Chains A and B, each alone.
Chain A
Amino acid sequence: MTQMDIVTEFKKKTSMVSSMVHEAQSIQDALEIAVSVCVKKSPAMMTNSSSETPHTGDSDSRISLMHGKTMAALDLDEDKLKILAKLCSDNNIDLITESLRNHGTGIDVGITTADYGIADTGTLVVSSDSEEKRLATMISEIHVALLLKSNIRPSALAMCEELELLTSKPSSYTAFITGPSRTADIERVLAIGVHGPLELHIILLDDIEK
C-alpha cells in the first residue's frame, strides 16, 4: 500500500461515517475552506432549537444570542492565525483563541489540527491535552480538522507505537474521532450531533511527494 492508497482508503472510510473531506493545496487554501464552511453554516443551533429562546438567567447563553458567528482556533501557529484572523474579519466572524468554557452553549466552528488519520476506520487522532483544544472539538457545532496526508496510517494497530507515545504521557488526553457525534438511541434511527459536533470537516493538506 502506497501512501496515496492509504489516503484514498482514508477518504473512502471518512465519507462512510458522514465526515466531509476537502483537499487543500496550501495553508491559505485550507483556511479559506474552513472559513467558507463557517460562512455557509446556519446560525448556532443552541439558540434556535425547539423554536424558543435560551434559558433566561444563564450567563453563557448571552454569547450565543449574538448574531455574528464565532470561530475558535486553538492550536494554529502565529502565521496561520494571522491568515485566519484576516479571513474572519473579512467575513464578519468573531475569532476566539481562548476561554472556550465561556462559550459552553456553542461555537459555530472550531478549527484544530489533527495529529494522525487512521485509514481503515476513517478516524482522526487528536492529541487534546489542552482543555481549550478539547473543548473546540466538543462544543463547536462544526469541527474542522487540518490533517497532513503524510500523517495518515493504515490502521490503529499499525501505528501502535506512535499512539503509545501520545497516550503514555501523564495528563494526556487523546481522542479518536470518527465522524460527527451521533446516536441511534431513539428507535435506532441515526441522528447526528447529540452532544458534540453536528458536522466534521477534514481538510487534507497535500505534503506527499508524487
Chain B
Amino acid sequence: MGIDQTVEKKTEGGGEHINAYKKRINNALSNDFLRSAMDKFAIAYKESRKNAFADMDTGVDELIAEVAELKKNAVMKNSELLVQFRKKAEECGIQVHMAATADEANRIIADIAKNSGSRKIIKSKSMTAEETHLNHFLEKENLDVTETDLGEWIVQLRHEGPSHMVMPAIHLSRFQVADLFSDVTGKNQDAEIERLVKVARKELRSKFLEADMGITGANFVIADTGTIGIVTNEGNARLATTLPRVHVALAGIDKLLPSLKDALTVAKVLPRNATGQRLTSYVTWITGPSECKTTPSGKREMHIVLLDNGRSKIASDPDFAQILQCVRCGACANVCPVYRMVGGHQLGYIYIGAIGLITTYFFHGAENAKNIVQNCTNCGACKAVCAGGIDLPRLIKEVHTRIQDEDGHPLKSLMLAKVLKNRKLFHGLLRAASVAQKPVTGDTPYLRHLPMIFAKDHNFRRLPAIAKIPFRDRWESIKKEHQSAESIKAVAATSEKSDQKNQKNVKDNDKNIIRVGIFSGCVQDFVYPEQLEAGILAFSKYAQKDKKIILEFPMGQSCCGLPALSMGEKDAAKDVAIQNVNAFKGLKLDYIVTLCASCASHLKHAVPLLTGSILGKSATDFAEKVMPFSQFIYMTGGMDSLNAVDLQDSGNGQNMLKNIDRKKITWHSPCHLCRGIGIKDEPKEILGRTGHEFVKADEEETCCGFGGSFSVNFPAVSREILTRKLNDVEETGAEILVTECPGCVMQLRGGALNQNRSFKVVHLAEII
C-alpha cells in the first residue's frame, strides 16, 4: 500500500468512505508479498503458540481464566489502585501525571521535554503512544523523536502506522526495508535480514547515546510497589531507560495491577500468546529513578503519565468493561481470518485486530470504526485465544449496533430488521422470492445469473436458489414419515428383546421417550429443506433402539436473529429471540435440536443475553435445551448403532451402509460449532463410523469466510478466505467435504462449484 495511506486516513473528516475502504482492501488482497507473509504467519503462529503453552503445569484455558479474573478485579479496583500507585511512586521519586485525554498526555510529555531541556528523544515501543499520536505531536513541537524498536523505526521512517501490535512491520519485505535503509544511510544496503538488523543496531546506537530523554510504554504498572514492568525482545527499552537523563513512561490506566504476583501471572501468558515465546528476551522492572551518572543528582529524572482517554468511562460500562482486560498481545489479529487476508492496516485504525475493531470506536471515534467493525466473519477465533478472556465477537457486533444507533441505520439493514421482526411478512417474502427467482435460476437449484447489483463482486460462489417448498410446508408429511420410522424401529427393538417380559414398557416408558423440538433456521427452512429431512431420518436411524423420539416443529419459530445482530440490528435480534423462546415454550421438550451450527450457537449464547432481562428463566431454559445435530446424534447413543451398522449386518433392514460406496471424505468444522458450542470431535467420530475413509484437512477449524452479512459486505475478502479453505480441502484428495452448517454449505458448495473443484459439499445429515 501507499506510504502515506495511514496519514491520509487519519486526517480525513467524518471517516473514510466505505468504497475507499473496500478499495484499500482490494489493494491489500492483490499484494502478493503481504498475502504470503500473512499466510505463513497464520500457520506458524498456531504451532508456536501450542508449543509455548505445551509444557506448563496449568492448562492454557485455566491460565487465561486466571488472567481474565485478575484483570477484571484490577479494572474494578482501578481508582483505588491509582491512588495506591501514585502514593508509592511519588515516595520513590517518580513524578506522576494524570492525563484525561490523548492531547493532554501529549502536552504533558512535550512540557517535560521542554522543562528538562530535552530535544533528542528516543522511544521504545508503546501502543499507548500510538493511540495518542505522540510522535506527531512532539515533532510539531520541534522535538526530534526516534523510534528504536526495529519494526517501529521502519514504519516511522515510512511515515506509516504499525500493522500489528507486536510486529509493526510485518507487512513489509526485506527488499522494502533494504531500500529504506539505503535511503537512510545513504549507502546501498543488501536485502539480507541479518545485515539489515545490524544497520539498525548501529544507526540507533548513536541515537541512544545522544538522546536526552527516553520514552517507553509500560506493560505493567504495579500499585503496591510503584514499579513498572516493560516487556521487550530487542533490549531497546533498557537502553532507553538507562542512557538518557530523563525517562517518561506512558501507560493507560488499564495497565494497573495490584502486585508483582499479578504481573508475573500475566507475563506467563503475554509472550506465549503474542509470539509463541515462553518469555521475551527482556522483562525490565523499574521502581523509581535509577542511577544515571550524567546528572548532578546521580539519578535519572523519571515521570509516568497515566492516560485515561475514556478508559474510566469504559470501566463503568457493563458491556464493555471487559475490553480493559486486554493485555495487548495481538493474538486476536494472529488468528483472525480477515487479518490474514488483508493485514493490519486494513483491519484496525491504530489498534489492530479484533480488539482494535472495538477500541477504535472508544479511542478514535465512530468515524474511524464504522467500516472496520463490519469486517468480521464472527468466527470466534479471536475469542478462543484472547489472553484476557474477552468476548470479542459479541462486542464487535455491539459496537456496530452502537454506531448505527448513533449515526442512523442504513436502509438495507433497517429493512432487514423490519422484515425479520414480522415473521409472516419475512416468510411471505421468501415464498414470493421462490417464485420470482425463476428467471435467474432457470429452474436449477442455483441462481444462474445474479441480478446486476450483485453480479460483479458476488459471483465468486454460486448462490443457491430458494427451495420450491420450504421445510415448514413439508412438515406434516415429514412428521408422519418420522412417526412410521419410529414405530418400525420400536417393533424391531421389541422383537429383538422378545425375551423381555414387559414389551409395552419399552415403548411407553417415559425414560425412553426423547422429546425434540426442531429449530430449522431460515436457510434450512427455505433453501436446504432436504438437509433437515435427512437429519430427521438420521434421528430414527441412529438413536438407540429402545429410545423413542417425538418431534415437534413449532410454526411460530422464526429466524434465529444472528443475521440481524450481524448487521447491527440488536432490537430486531431481540424481537425474534423473544418470538423463538415463546414458540418453544410449554412443549415440554428435552432438547431443541438444530442442524445449523450458527443458529445453535446464537440460540445458546446470545438469546439469553438478549432476552434474559425480559423473559427471565424461560430464556435460559430455552438456551440450555439447544443442541447441535452432531452432539444430539452422538449423545442419544447413536454411536453404538453406527458402529453396529458399520461392522455387521444386523439384518433388520436398517443397514443403510451395507453396500456403501466408499468415498474419501473430509471435514470442515463450522466456527459456531467448534468454538461457538465447543463441539470438535463428535462429528468426526460419527464420520469415522460411516464406512467412508476420513482424511483430516489442514486448518479444519478455520473459517470458510461466509459470516452471513460479512460475505455480502466484503465479498472479495470472503472469496479469498474461501479459496484458502478450498485449497486445504483439495489437498486432502477428498471427494466429499462434510460440514454442519447450512451457511458453510452455501459458501463452500457455491465456491467449489464456481471454482470447478473436484469434491462435493454436503451437510453431515446428508451423508449419515
Q: Which chain A residues have a beta carbon within 8 Å of chain B's beta carbons? A: 13, 16-17, 45-46, 49-50, 52, 54-55, 58, 60, 101, 104-106, 120-123, 129-131, 134-135, 137-139, 156-157, 160, 163-164, 166-189, 191, 193-197
B179 CB, nearest partner CB in chain A, Å: 13
B281 touches A171 (CB 8 A): no
Within 8 Å by CB of B197, from A122, A175, A191, A196, lies A191
CB-defined A-B contacts under 8 Å, sample of 15: A50-B199, A120-B278, A138-B235, A156-B267, A160-B260, A163-B264, A167-B225, A171-B93, A175-B282, A176-B284, A184-B233, A187-B193, A193-B198, A195-B201, A196-B234
B residues in contact with A58, CB < 8 Å: 206
A115 CB, nearest partner CB in chain B, Å: 12
Within 8 Å by CB of A46, from B205, B283, B286, lies B205
B residues in contact with A129, CB < 8 Å: 290-291
Within 8 Å by CB of B235, from A104, A156, A160, A195, lies A195
Identify which of A50, A106, A163, A177 gathers the most chain B CB atoms within 10 Å of its CB. Answer: A50
Binary CB contact string for chain B from 74 to 99 against chain A (1 if under 8 A, 0 otherwise):
00000000000000000111000000
B197 touches A176 (CB 8 A): no
Identify which of A104, A105, A172, A183 gathers the most chain B CB atoms within 10 Å of its CB. Answer: A183
B residues in contact with A168, CB < 8 Å: 225, 227, 260, 287
Bound Cα distance from A137 to B281, whole angstroms? 12
B 147-168 contacts with A by CB, 8 A: 148-151, 154, 167-168
Bound Cα distance from A52 to B195, whole angstroms? 13
B 258-316 contacts with A by CB, 8 A: 259-261, 264-265, 267-268, 275, 278-294, 299
- Interface stretch, picked from B236-244, B338-346, B531-539, B594-602, is B236-244
Identify which of A105, A122, A129, A184 gathers the most chain B CB atoms within 10 Å of its CB. Answer: A184
B382 CB, nearest partner CB in chain A, Å: 20
B279 touches A123 (CB 8 A): yes
Closest to A176 in B: B283
Bound Cα distance from A191 to B431, whole angstroms? 62
- The list of the 7 closest CB pairs from A to B, nearest first, reads A196-B235, A185-B151, A176-B283, A121-B279, A181-B235, A185-B150, A191-B197
Binary CB contact string for chain B from 154 to 191 against chain A (1 if under 8 A, 0 otherwise):
10000000000001111011100100000001010100
Binary CB contact string for chain B from 199 to 210 against chain A (1 if under 8 A, 0 otherwise):
111101110110
A81 CB, nearest partner CB in chain B, Å: 20
Bound Cα distance from A193 to B242, whole angstroms? 18
Bound Cα distance from A177 to B201, whole angstroms? 19
- Interface stretch, picked from B36-44, B406-414, B459-467, B715-723, is B36-44
A residues in contact with B92, CB < 8 Å: 170-171
Number of A-B contacts (CB under 8 A): 220
Bound Cα distance from A171 to B227, whole angstroms? 10
Given A49-B201, A50-B202, A134-B242, 4 extra CB contacts under 8 A = A167-B222, A189-B174, A194-B200, A195-B148
Q: Which chain B residues have a beta carbon within 8 Å of chain A's beta carbons? A: 37, 40-41, 44, 55-56, 91-93, 148-151, 154, 167-170, 172-174, 177, 185, 187, 189, 193-202, 204-206, 208-209, 222, 225-227, 233-236, 238-239, 241-243, 259-261, 264-265, 267-268, 275, 278-294, 299
A residues in contact with B242, CB < 8 Å: 131, 134-135, 138, 173
Given A188-B170, A196-B234, A50:B281 Cβ within 8 A: no
Identify which of B154, B187, B281, B283 gathers the most chain A CB atoms within 10 Å of its CB. Answer: B281
B residues in contact with A13, CB < 8 Å: 278
Bound Cα distance from A180 to B235, whole angstroms? 9
Bound Cα distance from A83 to B267, whole angstroms? 39
A residues in contact with B177, CB < 8 Å: 186
Bound Cα distance from A43 to B392, whole angstroms? 51
Given A138-B239, A171-B92, A173-B285, A185:B169 Cβ within 8 A: yes
B443 CB, nearest partner CB in chain A, Å: 52
Closest to B293 in A: A131
Given A168-B227, A187-B193, A45:B198 Cβ within 8 A: yes
B197 touches A188 (CB 8 A): no
B282 touches A156 (CB 8 A): no
Bound Cα distance from A185 to B162, whole angstroms? 11
A204 CB, nearest partner CB in chain B, Å: 19
Bound Cα distance from A169 to B226, whole angstroms? 10
A residues in contact with B241, CB < 8 Å: 173
B261 touches A178 (CB 8 A): no
Within 8 Å by CB of B287, from A169, A176, A183, A189, lies A169
B residues in contact with A189, CB < 8 Å: 174, 193
A79 CB, nearest partner CB in chain B, Å: 25
A171 touches B189 (CB 8 A): no
Closest to B176 in A: A186
A residues in contact with B37, CB < 8 Å: 187-188
B278 touches A186 (CB 8 A): no
A174 touches B243 (CB 8 A): no
A189 CB, nearest partner CB in chain B, Å: 5
A134 touches B261 (CB 8 A): no
B198 touches A50 (CB 8 A): yes
Within 8 Å by CB of B291, from A49, A171, A187, lies A171
Bound Cα distance from A187 to B284, whole angstroms? 26
B residues in contact with A184, CB < 8 Å: 167, 233, 275
Within 8 Å by CB of A170, from B261, B279, B287, lies B287
B residues in contact with A169, CB < 8 Å: 287
B206 CB, nearest partner CB in chain A, Å: 7
A104 touches B205 (CB 8 A): yes
B residues in contact with A104, CB < 8 Å: 205, 208-209, 243
B residues in contact with A191, CB < 8 Å: 193-194, 197
Closest to A157 in B: B264
Bound Cα distance from A13 to B279, whole angstroms? 11
